[in-house]
Amino acid sequence: MNPLENTQAQMRKGVLEFCILSIIRQGEVYPSDILHHLKAAKLVVVEGTLYPLLTRLKNQGLLAYTWKESSSGPPRKYYSLTPEGIQFTQSLESTWKELVDAVTVTTQSSSKKS
Amino acid sequence: MNKTVTVNIGGIVFHIEEQAYAALQHYLESVRKALSGHQGADEILQDIESRMAEMFNETIKHERQVVTLAEVNSAIEVMGSPAAVAGNDNPSESYTEDTNTKSESTSAKRLFRDPDDKVISGVCSGLGHYLGVDPLWFRLFFVTIFLVAGSGLLLYILLALILPKARTTAEKLEMKGQPVNASTIRSIVEEEVRGIGEGLTRGSGKGFTGKISRFFDLLAQLVVAAAKFIFKLVIGFFTFILSVVLIALFIALLAMAGLVPVSQVPVVLSNLVLTATELNVLIIALGIVLGIPIVLLFHALIRRLFKLNALPKSVRLTALSVWIFGVLLGIFSGVGIAGHFAKVAKVTNQIPLAQPMSDTLNLASLPINEESGTYTIISEDDFSVNEDADSIYFGSVQLDIRKAKGDVFELTQSLISRGSDQKEASRNATSVRHSIEQNGDLLSIGSAFGLPKGTFYRGQKIRLVLYVPVGKSVYLDESSGSLIHDIQNVSNTLDEDMPGRVWTMTPQGLTCIGCSLPEDDDEGDPVQIRINGVDIHSDSIEQHIDTLKAQDLQINIKGKKIDVNTGN
């Protein structure tokens, strides 16, 4: 992996958790729904990475899931945010906004100089 | 045309090609390995499995359609490589997917048994990894102390039982002291996958160690079927017996600590009966046969106390095969030792005797010459050994007195011994030191014989026969009591009553003329006889006399003796 790819991957990973929590906040979803969103946003390349992340968030108490019947197969896990998860996501959101501002200010000021 | 199997993936039934099934199974196994150490690894794996099932379900239009390798491969591609699933793609990154301890870089080494590079159980290679030394040195070390002392085997067994086996990739990395992260895990997993692909798993099949390893595997397989039952029986038996024996032994040891120098027993064995090698082998065999059940027993106890898992099957099989090896070793060395006693030889010498001036020969027992240094007598009731002794004395000397054919006193000495062959047996027989001295009318015979140091005890004994001509006598000195054995005489006097008297040979046999010999006051059991269908008891014989007379029988009762004469 070359340095560029490495940095890009790190950037994506940094925001992945926030993105997943945000998707779940919009309503109960099951992993494939999350994957559709993430794939559309090109945040996730392979699906396998999602499951360890979901399990960890669940173990941290930010997520909960319920089993729901599906028309096309066995029951599926539907994830939703716990109250802690909602709070956590809100804090992340404000952090993200600060970060966007910070990045914008930094990049604009440096581009002006050059 | 391809063979298919029916499998349940994530709760849905699929028909899947065998090849595709193998690929899927291998992928999931690799993911499991890569995830080892993750919290909730099982759950993640389940999620992945269900998701793959969903993907297959989406691609398959018809219920009877078969999942092929192409579908499996595309599902794997969507899921990502095991290393990607496990989280980190780059070891230099500081980001860790999981904050749990295991995936953090630890370079502290841990001591494991290495299942990939094992000869017996991987103890030596594990030690090698831990100390950064070629495991060969540990193998040499264990073989050496096994041969020299035997205790090495016990040490090895203990280590094999105590050290955990490195099962997961993470543990294998810890064993080698490498940091545990995705890239190292991936490299190990890939190495293993390559190994499978080339058709050889590491550690089995390559070179010398592989052969030995296979040999032990085979050995274990061979013995397990026959021995399983015995093993259970023995363990059950030992659990019970050992607890009893151990307590008894402990008490006995305490009681005897001040009285019996226990350390002398091996000295006796090693100097007298066994060579040092035989003794060592025997001790090793004994150590294995007793030690393994004891170790297992303690393990079972500890397991009870701390609720540990049962020993892995491989360990139990190893313990079992070592135990059987110990039993066989014991049997073989026992047979080998018994071989030293296989043949008997008898060397008979005529001892020249000066005929006594009078008609009576005085027979005495010769005390062991105390000037010849320290000595020890071993007989039935005296068993002790002095390490400084230059000879060890045995009391197995027996003298018989018989009627001479001619008119002179004669003495024969038969040296009897056992040995692995006739030649060795007679050599063993003639190696004894036994003294016979004559001084005028006094014949003194050693009541014990010595085995010089360096001579092995092979059941040596000495049988002497004194031939007394008719009309001549022997005076048995009081000291000769330890010498004489089962001498036939007219009055049926017991050996213990014979010394201290003059015994004369008559044509009937040996008699004590004019002696008031102690009566055989043996009360004995009441006699019961049956005559013509009538039971007669010696206590109530008078009652029956009339009956018996009527049947032409004459019965005289003298004291306790009954003479019965038929009428005709």
List the CATH number of the domain containing A24: 1.10.10.10
CA distance B44 to chain A (A): 6
C-alpha B297/C-alpha B204 separation (Å) is 32
Same structural domain for residues B350 and B260? no
Please check whether residue A78 lies inside any domain of the structure: yes
ipTM of the complex: 0.78
- B246 and B282 assigned to the same domain: yes
Strand (E) or helix (H) holding A96? helix A83-113
**pLDDT exceeds cutoff 50 at B152:** yes
Comparing CA positions, the residue from B101, B103, B127 lying closest to residue B113 is B127
| B208 interfacial to chain A (CB closer than 8 Å) | no
Nearest-angstrom CA–CA distance, B479 and B216:
63
Mean pLDDT of B178-183: 66
pLDDT, position B288: 83
CA-nearest residue to B53 within chain A is: A73
In a shared domain, residues B443 and B541: no
Asked whether the beta carbons of residue A46 and residue B79 sit closer than 8 angstroms, the reply is yes
Q: Do A52 and B89 touch (CB under 8 A)?
A: no
In a domain, A1, yes or no: no
Residue A7 lies in a domain: no
Q: Is residue B493 part of a domain?
A: yes
**Which residues, other chains included, contact B503 with Cβ-Cβ below 8 Å and sequence gap of 6+?**
B401, B468, B473, B474, B475, B476, B489, B510, B511, B512
Distance CA B91, CA B224 (A): 46
Residues B18 and B87 in one domain: yes
Residues B157 and B304 in one domain: yes
In a domain, B519, yes or no: no
Phi first, then psi, for residue B385 (nearest 5°) are -135, 135
> How many structural domains does chain B have?
4
Asked whether residue B299 falls in the same domain as residue B273, the answer is yes
Smallest CA–CA distance, residue A7 to chain B, in Å, is 9
Shortest alpha-carbon distance between residue A50 and chain B (Å):
8
Tell whether the torsion through CA atoms of B75, B79, B80 and B81 is positive or negative. Answer: negative
Chain B neighbors of A49, CB-CB under 8 A: 80, 84-85, 87
Pairing of strands B473-476, B360-366: parallel
Contact B51 A31 (CB under 8 A): yes
Last residue of a domain, one of B297, B315, B336: B336
| Weakly modelled stretches of chain A, pLDDT under 50 | none
Mean pLDDT confidence for B175-181: 72
Q: Is B243's pLDDT higher than 80?
A: no
pLDDT score at B539? 60
Overall residue count recorded for chain B in this entry: 568
Residue of A43, A56, A57 to mutate, testing the B interface (most B Cβ within 10 Å of its Cβ) = A56
Q: Is B127 exposed, middle or buried (0-12, 13-18, 19+ CB in 10 A)?
A: buried
Comparing CB atoms, the residue among A6, A46, A59 nearest residue B78 is: A46
Inter-chain touch A53–B97, beta carbons under 8 Å: yes
Is residue A5 domain-resident? Answer: no
Report in angstroms the alpha-carbon separations of B93 from A52, B90, B403, B531, B548.
18, 6, 108, 112, 120
What mean pLDDT comes out for the span B212-219? 70
Chain B residues in contact with A53 by the CB 8 A cut-off are 97
Q: Are B326 and B347 in a shared domain? A: no
Residue B309 resides in a domain: yes
Chain B (38-57) residues lying within 8 Å, Cβ to Cβ, of chain A: 38-40, 43-44, 47-48, 50-51, 53-54, 57
Confidence of residue B379 (pLDDT cuts 50, 70, 90): very low
User: What CA–CA distance (Å, rounded) separates B364 from B66?
Assistant: 106
Both tokens of A32, joined, read 């494939």
- Nearest CB to B54; choose among A49, A54, A73: A73
Tally of domains within chain A: 1
Claim to verify: residue B181 and residue B295 sit in the same structural domain? yes
Amino acid B381: pLDDT = 39
Q: In what order do the strands lie in the sheet with B461-468?
A: B343-351, B410-419, B461-468, B397-403
The reply to whether B93 and B159 lie within a common domain is no
Residue B516 in domain: no
Say which range, B262-276, B303-317, B463-477, has the weakest mean pLDDT: B262-276
Same domain, yes or no, for B255 and B279? yes
The residue among B336, B357, B373 that closes a domain is B336
Q: Using an 8 Å Cβ cutoff, are B428 and B366 in contact?
A: no
Nearest CA in chain B to A74: B11
**CA atoms within a 13 Å half-sphere pointing along the CA-CB vector of A72:** 12
Q: Which domain holds residue B243?
A: 123-336
Print the domain residue range for A98. Answer: 13-113
Q: Does one domain contain both B133 and B73?
A: no
pLDDT tens readout for residues B410-455:
899 999 998 888 898 998 888 888 888 888 888 888 878 877 777 7
Q: Can you tell me the distance from the alpha carbon of A107 to that of B499, in angstroms, rounded to the nearest whole number?
A: 126
In a domain, B95, yes or no: yes
Give the confidence band of B465 by pLDDT, cuts at 50, 70, 90: very high
pLDDT of residue B501: 85
Predicted TM-score of the model (pTM) = 0.39
In eight-state DSSP terms, residue B68 is -
